[in-house]
Amino acid sequence: MLNKNIFKSRLFKKTLPHKKIFHASFKDFPLLPVLTTAFFYALCYVISVVFFDVQIFLEAIPIDFLTQLIFAYILYALSRRAWSFTILHALIMGILYVGNPIKIAFFGGPLMPDDIFALRSLLLILNGWQFIALAIVLAGLVSLTFFNLTVRHWHNYVGGVFASLLTLTTLYQPNLIVEPIDTHIGTMPWNQRSNYVWQGATIHTLVETARFFLLADSAPDIGDAKEAAEFLLNQHTEKNTFENFTPRNVHLILLESFWDANKLTKVKFSKNPLADDFRKLWKSAGNSTSIVPVFAGMTANSEFEVLCGFPVTKDTVKFERQLINDVPCLPRLLGDYGYKTIASHPNTPVFWNRVNAYKRVGFETYWSEGDFVLDDINREFLGDSSLYRQVLEKLPLNNGQPVLDYIVTYFGHWDYPLNENRPVQITSNSQVEEVNGYANTTYYKSREFMDFVKELQKRDPDGIIVAFGDHLPFLGENFAGYEESGVLADNRGEFSDAMFQFHVSTPLIVIDGKKGAVKTGRLPLYQVPKLILDLLHFNEQTIMDYTIPPADRRIRPLVNFHFDEFNDGHVSVCKEPPYSPECQESLKWVQAVKVVSNDLFIGKQITRPATN
């Protein structure tokens, strides 16, 4: 009979080397981080280049590799076992060196610290294998981190010291990280894709995390807030001189990913994607355009602008963490004047923190997924015709109380699924799969929208109707559908001034009751609330008065840069110093708007008008 003590003998341990490997730690394989860093770096580099066409510059690899190797040694020094370190290191490097290219391919820029706050919403929107893959990665990170870390040996304490020093420096002295990297490697705040390929994933993540804490928004001082508010109000001297405030119903419709695919100049469609009556209505409005804050996603930032009248200037979802006060945005303002304020969106109610955000901007009622019959589902998206019909059935029109009716459509999300009631109608010569899918989506969206407008005008002929696209659609990785027609380059670093305009321009329809369509021209989305108040003959000072730009231009702040559209037609993109005189003027305006915005939405609200 086999002696059980053999399992404890040295001889038996020597015959099972895999057991030693399984239980090995820092002292057994001190070169393991070199091997894992080299292997995973090479593997992820190939995946990034082959599948996503994102290539870290060769000149950046040595310092980026070395930084990642230092991080690997810190992690290994804190690790309990070699195998758990290896898996954890693989997950971390996969996020850095594959996750970044994925986001670059879809949205034009790499992962940023603020993306952590959007993680919940990302998990809510993913389905099938995409959700499972991300869930496995996150679960592996969390569980392995807790299982793997230990402080039993000298090397654990050394690793802990270095990890603590790095953490404390990032939190409390971030400039010690930001300044050397910006000075010796360089950075372009307006072009994070270029920063990523110049710096590498580890360096980019390190410096942008430090910059996140260095430039964190905070409530401004009373003096600074008052000075900025006075500067902004002095930019315009005209005052509203309307005789009487005239309450009318306001219908505000966000059209998901709605855009004119005919602007893809080299694509020949078998049918016009936009309905003829929509194009006729849009033409009567002078083909008005909304200049939006985002591209291909982050709908909530367009919502924030159209509801609150302030531009979004940072790469973050404003609803998620920079809207903590109750603010006199359009819904609260109209609610204070007797309006019933209703928001409708047939999605999970907590998506983009809408439950809290809608309450803080002043909506009395929020109809979400559970308030609608999901009778026209296109995969998980409720069709617009069903959404419009159900809103009309529930909406309290013509009962003596004016209504602010805000609708966020859901149908139109990538990858543009259709159900059996919406057969494919359009083909094209495009080689990008998303182009045909999107054209068919807008074929139905434009027609269903026009049916809704016609019915709405019958029921509410004096009502104000405002509809806009929240952002351009995703048409393939690295702007493929747009690059195919030459209207955008394959990365933002090569955009011309006209391309910067193009990639944030969507259709805008404003109907002033029986007077018909309004020719607004090109209008930044944050100016729409002020336009609505003007149509209502609203005379009181509001927070929207702060964001009236100088009379000679329209200013579109974006993330870390802005551009000016002048009345004479020329465009000035203001990306980095040295600034032109005209950019210096608008930059001062943008900076003052940021100060007042921080005061109103996260600060003490010193600048909140007394009448509100």
On whether the CB atoms of residues 439 and 426 are closer than 8 A, the answer is yes
Give SS3 for 229. helix
Give SS3 for 520. coil
Question: How do residues 513-551 score in pLDDT, each as one tens digit?
Answer: 999 999 999 999 999 999 999 999 998 899 999 999 988
What whole-number distance in Å separates Cα of residue 273 and Cα of residue 446?
8
Q: Is pLDDT of 444 > 70?
A: yes
Question: How do residues 138-185 score in pLDDT, each as one tens digit?
Answer: 777 777 777 767 666 666 677 778 888 988 999 999 999 999 999 888
The pLDDT value recorded for residue 320 is 87
What average pLDDT does the segment 81-89 reach? Answer: 87
Percent of the chain with pLDDT over 70: 91
What average pLDDT does the segment 36-49 reach? Answer: 95
What whole-number distance in Å separates Cα of residue 270 and Cα of residue 265?
14
Q: Angle at CA 383, nearest 5°, toward 382 and 387?
A: 80
Q: Cis peptide leading into 578, omega within 30 of 0?
A: yes
On whether the CB atoms of residues 106 and 474 are closer than 8 A, the answer is yes
Q: How many helices (H) and strands (E) does the chain have?
A: 24, 13
Write the burial class of residue 453 (CB in 10 Å: 0-12 exposed, 13-18 middle, 19+ buried): buried
Torsion of CA 597, 601, 605, 607, to 10 degrees: 20
Give SS3 for 402. coil
Give SS3 for 562. strand
The pLDDT value recorded for residue 441 is 97
What whole-number distance in Å separates Cα of residue 12 and Cα of residue 477?
55
pTM score, whole prediction: 0.87
- Please tell me the total number of residues recorded for the chain in this structure: 612
The pLDDT value recorded for residue 23 is 58
Q: Residue 563 is which amino acid? A: F
Q: Is pLDDT of 390 > 60?
A: yes
Neighbours of 380 (CB within 10 A): 15
Mean confidence (pLDDT) of the chain = 89
Question: How do residues 447-485 score in pLDDT, each as one tens digit?
Answer: 999 999 999 999 999 999 999 999 999 999 999 999 999
Q: What is the DSSP string of 107-173?
A: HSS---GGGGGGHHHHHHH--HHHHHHHHHHHHHHHHHHHHHB--SSHHHHHHHHHHHHHHHHHHH-
What whole-number distance in Å separates Cα of residue 587 and Cα of residue 557?
9
- Alpha helices, H only, 2-127: 10-14, 17-23, 32-52, 61-77, 82-94, 100-107, 119-125
Question: How do residues 266-292 score in pLDDT, each as one tens digit?
Answer: 999 999 999 999 999 999 999 999 999
Q: Is pLDDT of 190 > 90?
A: no
b/e sequence 37-68, b meaning 16+ C-beta within 10 Å: beebbeebbebbeeebebebeeebeebbbebb
Instruction: Name the pairing type of β-strands 340-344 and 365-367.
Output: parallel
What average pLDDT does the segment 31-51 reach? Answer: 94
Tell me the domain boundaries of the chain.
Answer: 23-214, 247-542
CATH architecture of the domain with residue range 247-542: 3-Layer(aba) Sandwich (3.40)
Helix, strand and coil content of the chain, in percent to the nearest 5, comes to 55, 10, 35
What average pLDDT does the segment 9-18 reach? Answer: 43
Q: Is pLDDT of 324 > 60?
A: yes
The pLDDT value recorded for residue 96 is 94
Percent of the chain with pLDDT over 90: 68
Question: How do residues 551-585 score in pLDDT, each as one tens digit?
Answer: 889 999 999 999 999 988 889 999 988 889 999 99
